[in-house]
Structures are given as C-alpha cells and as structure tokens.
Amino acid sequence: MQIQISGQHIQVTPALRERVEQQIGRFERLFDNITGLDVVLSVDKAEHKAGGTLHCSGTRLHAEGHARLQDGTISDRMYAAIDEMVTKLADQLKKHKEKLKDHHNAEGREARAAVE
C-alpha cells in the first residue's frame, strides 16, 4: 500500500508519521484490495485536522478528524484528530466490504437449480 502524508501549516514529524502508519495497520486486516492512502494533516487557529483518502478497488473513501482547543491538552490534539480519522475510515471500509459481500444463501440457490 502506498502511503502519502503531507502537512498544511505543520511540519510532519517522524512521530506523527509513525502514528499514522501504526493506526493504518487496521485497514490491512479489514480489506485486502487497498492500493493507497493519502493523509493531510493541518492546523488552524484552534483546531487540528487530519483528513484521509483511502483508495480501494472500485472506490475511494474519505474521512476527516477534528480536535479543537477545548478537547484536551495542546500536545495530543493532532493525535486525537488522527485517531478520529482512522476510526471513521475503518467504519467506512467495513461498510464497503459488507456491500461487496454476497448475502444470499449459496446452498439454497444450488438446491433450487438442481430441482429445476
């Protein structure tokens, strides 16, 4: 999987890069056909944001995580935004995988085909 991490008004430190790479290990367990991930970390006045676009076979999933000034200490706001973004992307990936799954009973179809 190709990972691209960039920052707007923030320097992407090795610790932030490691946090993103550590969190996205969840995606590889959920779905096999992931081709890439683009992450944009940004800082506004009182808000840290993490936006991610997950490229899968047949679709792109996008989610954003926000952490505001009152949500916690200053040092862990970006980590909270990354965690929120990863959680949202994981939920979307589970839903996408569920849509691709065939929910019909294969045994019932085979039995009906044999009778006809």
How much is the average pLDDT of 100-116? 71
The tokens of 47 are what? 């808000």
CA 38 centroid distance within chain: 10
How much is the average pLDDT of 46-72? 86
Amino acid at 48: H
Q: What domains can be seen in the chain, in order of their start residue?
A: 2-114 (3.30.160.100)
The sign one gets for the Cα dihedral 94, 99, 100, 104 is: positive
Per-residue model confidence as pLDDT tens digits over 7-56: 999 999 999 999 999 988 888 888 888 899 999 999 988 889 999 999 98
Neighbour order of strands in the sheet with 59-68: 2-8, 34-43, 47-56, 59-68
How much is the average pLDDT of 77-82? 90
Tell me the average pLDDT of the chain. 86
- Record the pTM: 0.80
The answer on pLDDT for 92 being more than 70 is yes
* Residue 10: φ, ψ to 5°: -155, 145
Look up residue 105 and give its DSSP letter.
-
pLDDT of residue 109: 67
